[in-house]
Structures are given as structure tokens and as C-alpha cells.
Chains A and B, each alone.
Chain A
Amino acid sequence: MAKINFVDHQGETRTIEVENGATVMEAAIRNGIPGIEAECGGACACATCHVYVDEAWREKVGPPSPMEEDMLDFGFDVRPNSRLSCQIKVTDELDGLTVTTPERQA
């Protein structure tokens, strides 16, 4: 289990508990977190679950895979800490992770 914090673009934070093995995107969709669309349902094929990983967590979360980098090309306002949340698997290690959702996904 890990607590994940989602900060929306206006600064409001929502915290949810996520079981290990789920992706950050799945957890967001299941809990109705606004700002994550996941149009393709988690196939790493659409870049509409784009999030910014809090600086303090970047190293633990790790960098995007080459395929994810390709998909991030379709994202908007992509930054060095951009990730697709469907590609971040939750583990105990990520307890307390904070991600920010962008102003828009598509």
C-alpha cells in the first residue's frame, strides 16, 4: 500500500491509498481524480495520463522508458519531470509520492 498525492493545476491536493502493483493512472481513474483522462486505457498509447513527478520523488520513480518518451511527444507542456502515470507501478517505496496533473491533457 502507498499513499499517493495528486495536486491539480490549481493547487488542490487529493490523497488516495493505492495497493501495490496498480499503476498511478489506474488508481487515479478508480478514485475519480480529475485531470487524468487515460483515453487509451493504459496501453501507453495516448499521453492523456500525463503527470509531473514531484522533484523529491524523481529519482525513486525513475525516468520514462524509450516507448514512453515517444508517447510523451504527444503530451502538452512536457517537462523534465513528466511521466505517463499508466507507466508508474505503485510499490511500498512510493508511499507518499506526489504528482501534479497538467492544466490539460489533450
Chain B
Amino acid sequence: MSEAIKTDVLIVGAGPCGLFAVFELGLLDMKAHLVDILDKIGGQCAELYPEKPIYDIPGIPMVSGQGLTDALMEQIKPFHPTFHLGEMVEKIEKIGEPAFRVTTDAGKVFECKVVVISAGGGSFQPKRPPVPGIEAYEGTSVFYSVRKMEQFRDKSLLIVGGGDSALDWTLNLHPIARRVTLLHRRDDFRAAPHSVEQMRALVASGKMDLKIGQVTALEGEGGMLAGATMKGNDNAISRIACDTMLPFFGLTMKLGPVANWGLALENNLVPVETSAFETSVPGIFAIGDINTYPGKLKLILCGFHEGALMAQKAHRYVYPDKRLVFQYTTSSSSLQKKLGVN
């Protein structure tokens, strides 16, 4: 086990609510580390709707998902949060009153006084295509991401999808694979046009295959894939010889390991009380879309409010002997010093 990273607060999820929690905690002198399963900051704002407008952030008539993320990053800069991206929190163990040991799937360990779960709809995980029996091949012949390219040397690859992941891996793996077949449901691709051009050139020169349709069945034994059946848009059935399949159907939100953290759950949400948005476990808070309480609205602005109240209670756990005096950023010279504006 690697040495534990010590921090006041560990925030699970780097969406807008997790980011603003850094601000509210920072004003009260609490340092935070954030863990997010995505490889980027911003949660749903960055993953689902980076370019789409949000109209209900108070004081900002219109901002895009990415714009809000960028603005929050600017706002929390004075507090120097540390991000651990592409990692999923797997385990939270209680080691004090309160104190927690938090472990990620990459083996990173944190020790903190307070945990804030701002995990939105849970963790983004790859979508599994609805092909009967696909589970039997996962991890042996079916992979939803590429960690080591070498693993695919001399393989007959079936890559499914039409976005950047599908096209990038087609182009990157084509030189080392035995053969690459790209399968997509239509002859239009949303991937970057230059990748599509490169792919079409490879197809034209006979170096790879492109098929239009959808996978309907897999064949093989003991987790080893031997081929796939596809249905073309003309409903014609054909077979693709392959020993490895890489489906890229985007991401979906799954509650994931949150369910194993010993918290009370209601319909896949974490119930909290509404004076500090604390869960059934003292020292673990839940803010944003992941929590539920009477009257809950899944709005970013509500998550911001929840973060502010959370920070007041978290302060008692992190600094049990310090008295907390409520102050305004407009008039408090000590808050302004923390923000670096005075």
C-alpha cells in the first residue's frame, strides 16, 4: 500500500458542486483533494453538455457547461485543490471520530477528517452494448478502454462506434493489430473529420475494413471471442471474424461503489439532513445530485448552497477547538487575504 495522502477533506467527484465545495471549505481554512473517475474536471457539465447553455446560475444569465467549469476553476484557484483524475473511490473506512481512510481503484490512499460525496449520478462508466452474453467476454476478449496498446498486437480487432474513441483507437491500433474492422451504425461519423479521412484512406487501400450496421450476437468459448454477427441497415446478416472487440458507446452513470460505503440509501440516492447535508455517517457529507431530502431539487445552485452549509459543519470536525465566526467576503479582510485580493 502506498503512503497515505493526508488532507482535511476528500471530495468524491469534481463536478460543479465538488468544485464550489473547495471554495467554501477554503474560506474556512480547510484543504481539499478531489477524486473523479473522468479524465477531466467538470463532471456532467464537462462530459454531458460542455457546449450547452445553463440559464439558472444566479447572476449569470447564460453559461455553457464548460464555461461554468472554467469559471469555478478560476474561483477556487486561491485554495490550490489537488485533483486525482481517472480514478474511482472504491473504499471508505472509518479510522477515527471522525476520520476516514479512502482508497481509489488506482491504489491511492487518503486520510482525512471529512469526506464530501459530490458524485452526481454516480460514476461514469462505459455503456455495455445490448449483445446477449457479452458479459462472458468482458476482460478477456471485450474491452471498453485501452490501457496498454501492446495487449492488442496481432489481434483481429472489431472496433464498434463512430466517435473519437472508436476512430482514434482504429488509427492507433491498426499498425500493430493483425486486422482491424470498424463497425458503425451509419456511414457518418461524429469523430474529428481528419481521423475519418485517415480511416477512409486505410479502407480504400485495403488495409482495414469498414462495415455499417450493428452487432447482434457474439460467438466463442470460455471467454475467448471467435466472431461476431452483424445486421446491416438493409437487415442483411453477416459474420465478422474477430478475437477481440472494443465497443465505444459512450458513458453512462452508475451509482457504483457509493453503494458499498455503509451509508443509508434511498432509490440510489444518499439521504442527508438539511442543516449541514450530512449523511447517516457523521463526517461524511453528500451534496449535489447524489443526495436526497424533502424538497430536493437537482439544480447546480442547490448544490452550491449545500456546499456552503456543509463547510460550516465540516469546520467543527477539522478544527474542533476553533470557534467559527461567520464572515462575508465583501467585508472581511481575513477572507479577502485567503482569496488573494487584499
Q: Which residues of A contact B (CB under 8 A)?
A: 39-41, 43-48, 69-70, 72-74, 76-78, 80, 103-104, 106
Q: Which residues of A contact B127 (CB under 8 A)?
A: 74, 106
From residue B192, how far is it (CB to closest CB) to chain A in Å? 13
From residue A68, how far is it (CB to closest CB) to chain B in Å? 11
Interface contacts (Cβ under 8 Å), in number, total 47
Known: A45-B49, A70-B190, A106-B127. A78 touches B185 (CB 8 A): yes
Q: Which residues of B contact A76 (CB under 8 A)?
A: 129-130, 249
Q: Which residues of A contact B44 (CB under 8 A)?
A: 40
Contact among B52, B121, B161 for A43, CB-based, below 8 A: B52
A73 touches B129 (CB 8 A): no
From residue B83, how far is it (CB to closest CB) to chain A in Å? 23
Distance, CA A45 to CA B52, complexed state (A): 9
Contact among A44, A73, A103 for B190, CB-based, below 8 A: A73
Q: Which residues of B contact A45 (CB under 8 A)?
A: 48-49, 52
Of the A-B pairs whose beta carbons lie under 8 Å apart in the complex, a sample of 21, sorted by A's number, is A39-B121, A39-B253, A40-B44, A40-B49, A43-B48, A43-B49, A45-B48, A45-B52, A69-B188, A70-B190, A73-B162, A73-B184, A73-B185, A73-B190, A73-B249, A76-B249, A77-B130, A77-B214, A78-B185, A103-B130, A104-B130
Contact among B185, B188, B233, B252 for A39, CB-based, below 8 A: B252
Distance, CA A48 to CA B130, complexed state (A): 13
Distance, CA A48 to CA B250, complexed state (A): 12
Extra contacts, 16 of them, besides A39-B121, A80-B233 (Cβ < 8 A), are A40-B44, A40-B49, A43-B48, A45-B49, A47-B250, A69-B186, A69-B188, A70-B190, A73-B163, A73-B250, A74-B127, A74-B249, A78-B214, A103-B130, A106-B127, A106-B252
Distance, CA A11 to CA B295, complexed state (A): 35
Using C-beta atoms within 8 Å of the partner chain, give the interface range for chain B. Answer: 20 to 34
Residue of B nearest to A47 (CB): B250
Distance, CA A106 to CA B121, complexed state (A): 14
A40 touches B48 (CB 8 A): yes
Residue of A nearest to B163 (CB): A73
Q: Which residues of B contact A77 (CB under 8 A)?
A: 130, 214
Contact with A along B104-138 (1 / 0, CB 8 A): 00000000000000000100000101100000000
Distance, CA A41 to CA B44, complexed state (A): 11
Distance, CA A78 to CA B127, complexed state (A): 15
Distance, CA A73 to CA B186, complexed state (A): 8
From residue B148, how far is it (CB to closest CB) to chain A in Å? 26
Q: Which residues of B contact A39 (CB under 8 A)?
A: 121, 252-253
Distance, CA A12 to CA B163, complexed state (A): 35
From residue B37, how far is it (CB to closest CB) to chain A in Å? 16
Distance, CA A77 to CA B44, complexed state (A): 25
Q: Which residues of A contact B48 (CB under 8 A)?
A: 40, 43, 45-46
Contact with A along B135-173 (1 / 0, CB 8 A): 000000000000000000000000001110000000000
Distance, CA A100 to CA B266, complexed state (A): 30
Which has the most chain B C-beta neighbours within 10 Å: A39, A45, A77, A104? A45
Q: Which residues of B contact A72 (CB under 8 A)?
A: 185
Complex A-B, nearest 4 residue pairs according to Cβ-Cβ distance, in ascending order: A70-B190, A74-B250, A45-B48, A106-B252
Distance, CA A43 to CA B48, complexed state (A): 8
Distance, CA A80 to CA B130, complexed state (A): 18
From residue A40, how far is it (CB to closest CB) to chain B in Å? 5
Residue of B nearest to A37 (CB): B252
Distance, CA A48 to CA B127, complexed state (A): 11
Q: Which residues of A contact B129 (CB under 8 A)?
A: 76
B185-235 CB contacts (< 8 Å) to partner A: 185-186, 188, 190, 214, 233
B41-76 CB contacts (< 8 Å) to partner A: 44, 48-49, 52
B234-255 CB contacts (< 8 Å) to partner A: 249-250, 252-253
Residue of A nearest to B44 (CB): A40
